[in-house]
Structure 1
Amino acid sequence: MFLGFIHTPLAQAFDYFQPLPAQPMMPPDNPQTEAKIVLGKQLFYDNQLSEKRSHSCNHCHNLLTGGDDDKAYSTTPENARTKRSAPGLWNIGLQTVLYWDGREKTLESQALDHLRDPAIMGFSDISALEQRLKGDAGYRKAFSEAFEQDPAVNLTNIAKALASFQRALLAPNSAFDRYITGDKSALSEAAIKGMQEFNDAGCLACHFGTNFAGPAPGPALKMGDGFYELFPNNLGSQYDQSHELTKDLGRYEYSKIPDEKYMWRVPSLRNIALTAPYFHNGSAKTLREAVKIMAKTQFGNELSEEQIDNISAFLRSLTGEVPEVLRRQ
């Protein structure tokens, strides 16, 4: 686990404001190929990946609108409900750990966990999915093209294909990215002020780096290492009750380590304007509400309406273009 708190003047903080990379890091055992991306995309949108054939991955992660479902909690057509709010999937390949509590270390392992989860895809016996897809001639052909050395239609390759597709979901060319790479006309005056106020309010302590979620995979943080922070950091505000912020104990519910109560993987702020409602329980309905609550619960600050507007304008500048892989026919 990695805990970090960085506070620095904006002139130095540009080391922590970084543009989106051309691609995320790839695991050595699952190099990116076009055939795997195509297969993963097909699997992602296929209802066969749920036990009842009732819904696809896109049911909870609508990829054309940021990769979430605009709900506090996701429900299946069978009315099973998730424990926490579904996060967006654009740029998910830049995360070093997965889920709000960081319990999965790779997109491959998370894919298998989703298939087994009774509140998500619901397979009581995940081997049934293998048999289902093996019976499809189109899938047998697609797997043989994507995995030439080991063309089996099996769970390992299903997970690798889904992970490859998700790593291709980079959303480039946000106004922020254009601004820090030289186009000083890309941000509005409010967004420029908001970028400074984002730093002044302390937000940059946790939300920095390529994905605005702490260190990106690299020298400071390896794939599988989590970057976590307390939320709420300052217990006792009115939001503990009104937004039920202390009802879920966060990473502790997975790890059972007492010091990890209310610890959460720091979420990305890229494309956040597309993924309301906010927080692990979807209790903040708007971006302005989320900004106001975070300032109070994390730093004890009461922001002015203008500060909230400016920070919100900056956060909206983090919205990238629809990933290229989704624009293909």
Structure 2
Amino acid sequence: MKPAVLVGMVTVLGWAALAADPDALRQKARFFFEPLPDKMPGAEHDTPERIELGRKLYFDNRLSVNNSQSCNTCHDITGGKAGVDNLPTSPGALGQRGERNSPTVLNAGFHIAQFWDGRAKDLKEQAKGPILNPVEMAMPSEAAVEEKLRGIPEYRELFAKAFPGQSEPITYDNLAEAIAAFERTLITRDRFDDFLKGDNQALNQRELRGLDLFINIGCITCHTGPLIGGNSFQKVGLIHPYETPDLGRYAVTKDEADKFKFKVPSLRNVALTAPYFHNGRHAELKEAVILMAYIQLDRKLSDEEADAIVAWLHSLTDKQLARASQKQ
């Protein structure tokens, strides 16, 4: 049966039938979503030594021009954080703020491309950008980064172990490969995946209601697949205009059709990654849900509908992160 036919059939049956039979909702959901895989693309080449080197580099402030910032500064994975700094835009090493919201690093290697505009094809290419960006970590050149690392005895040893057989393992390319190897380990596990795999107790009735609404009102037009997003570029303000000076992917492609298009964000862990949109302008998840339904789908949600969708979105939070956030 085609997805559209199934969606229509369940809409006719009504929510009461689904509430009595979560298996029917799971069957519908599996047309659009799937659990996150166990490994990210490229992980087959990773080694424990490269991952450990990448972990150290990820947290090292010395990768910035004035030793003030690490990758983790803007993509915080400590203390129950979900790979973001929860700021609208992030200040760089020299105090200047970037123009876009820092996206989460969690599950990032599953995305179709990196950055809001997709200008980096994968994690390795992405890792090379912020270190040399004058607004971010502001190192002057690849050579300057390599020279700095070669002056640290511990890194000479760690790079040699991570890239054995190379006459000079401390290179900018190897640095990026190591950081990417570490980031490929940052896969989250949530209750929604438990539901997709057959656990009828994973979601409560309100969350099931939110999932049903999410599908029926058309959010699955953009938010599909394992990431529930992250696999396409779409115009923000598709039906009703969204005011933003940022031209999005057009800056990369120079294609008029790409104006105001951005990578569709993954909704995994979205309850912990506020503020929202490419500009970080929207602080509350419910606000973002209501706005997106209107500007993208021409749908005005009721409070009950928005609250139910937000409840379901909370089921996309990594289970360990959810427990940590509840303790705070």
The reply to whether TM is greater than 0.5 is yes
DSSP 3-state at the match of 2:308: helix
Indicate whether 1:320 and 2:318 are aligned.
yes
Describe how 1:33-48 pairs up with structure 2 within 5 A. 33-48=47-62
Indicate whether 1:192 and 2:197 are aligned.
no
The CA distance in 1 between the partners of 2:52 and 2:145, in whole Å, is 19
Return the letter of the residue paired with 1:49: L
Describe how 1:31-110 pairs up with structure 2 within 5 A. 31-64=45-78, 65-110=81-126
The CA distance in 1 between the partners of 2:261 and 2:248, in whole Å, is 5
Return the letter of the residue paired with 2:69: H
The CA distance in 2 between the partners of 1:97 and 1:255, in whole Å, is 14
Are the counterparts in 1 of residues 112 and 230 from structure 2 also a CA contact under 8 Å?
no
| Match for residue 171 of structure 2 among 154, 159, 178 | 154
Are the counterparts in 2 of residues 232 and 246 from structure 1 also a CA contact under 8 Å?
no
The CA distance in 2 between the partners of 1:42 and 1:204, in whole Å, is 38
The CA distance in 1 between the partners of 2:160 and 2:113, in whole Å, is 30
- Does the C-alpha gap of structure 1 residues 214 and 16 become closer, same or farther in structure 2, counting only changes over 3 Å? farther
DSSP 3-state at the match of 1:229: strand
Structure 2 partner of 1:218:
none
Structure 2 partner of 1:16:
32
Gaps of 5+ in 2: 8-24, 322-328
Describe how 1:222-233 pairs up with structure 2 within 5 A. 227-233=232-238
- Does the C-alpha gap of structure 1 residues 166 and 148 become closer, same or farther in structure 2, counting only changes over 3 Å? same
Describe how 1:1-329 pairs up with structure 2 within 5 A. 9=7, 11-26=27-42, 31-64=45-78, 65-150=81-166, 152-172=169-189, 174-213=190-229, 215=231, 227-236=232-241, 240=242, 245-322=243-320
User: What do residues 179-237 of structure 1 show as CA deviations (whole Å, max 9, x unaligned)?
Assistant: 1112111111111000000011110111011111155xxxxxxxxxxx2111111134x
Return the letter of the residue paired with 1:259: A
User: What do residues 20-62 of structure 1 show as CA deviations (whole Å, max 9, x unaligned)?
Assistant: 111111178xx11111111001001001110111111111111
Are the counterparts in 1 of residues 87 and 101 from structure 2 also a CA contact under 8 Å?
yes
Task: Give the greater-gyration-radius structure (CA).
Answer: 2
The CA distance in 1 between the partners of 2:121 and 2:206, in whole Å, is 37
Return the letter of the residue paired with 1:161: A
- Does the C-alpha gap of structure 1 residues 153 and 322 become closer, same or farther in structure 2, counting only changes over 3 Å? farther
The CA distance in 2 between the partners of 1:90 and 1:133, in whole Å, is 26
| Deviation at residue 322 of structure 1 after TM alignment | 4.7
The CA distance in 2 between the partners of 1:249 and 1:14, in whole Å, is 34
DSSP 3-state at the match of 2:210: helix
% of aligned pairs identical? 37
Higher percent of residues as helix: 2
Superposed CA RMSD = 1.7
Are the counterparts in 2 of residues 211 and 269 from structure 1 also a CA contact under 8 Å?
yes
Higher relative contact order (CA 8 A, sep 6+): 1
Are the counterparts in 2 of residues 98 and 105 from structure 1 also a CA contact under 8 Å?
yes
Are the counterparts in 2 of residues 198 and 311 from structure 1 also a CA contact under 8 Å?
yes
Structure 2 partner of 1:3:
none
Gaps of 5+ in 1: 1-5, 216-226, 324-329
The CA distance in 2 between the partners of 1:320 and 1:124, in whole Å, is 37
Of residues 308-317 and 145-154 in structure 1, the stretch that sits farther from structure 2 once superposed is 145-154
Return the letter of the residue paired with 2:252: Y
**TM-score, structure 2 normalization:** 0.87
Deviating beyond 6 angstroms after TM superposition, the runs of 4 or more aligned structure 1 residues are none
The CA distance in 1 between the partners of 2:216 and 2:71, in whole Å, is 39
Return the letter of the residue paired with 2:179: L
Aligned length: 297
Return the letter of the residue paired with 1:171: T
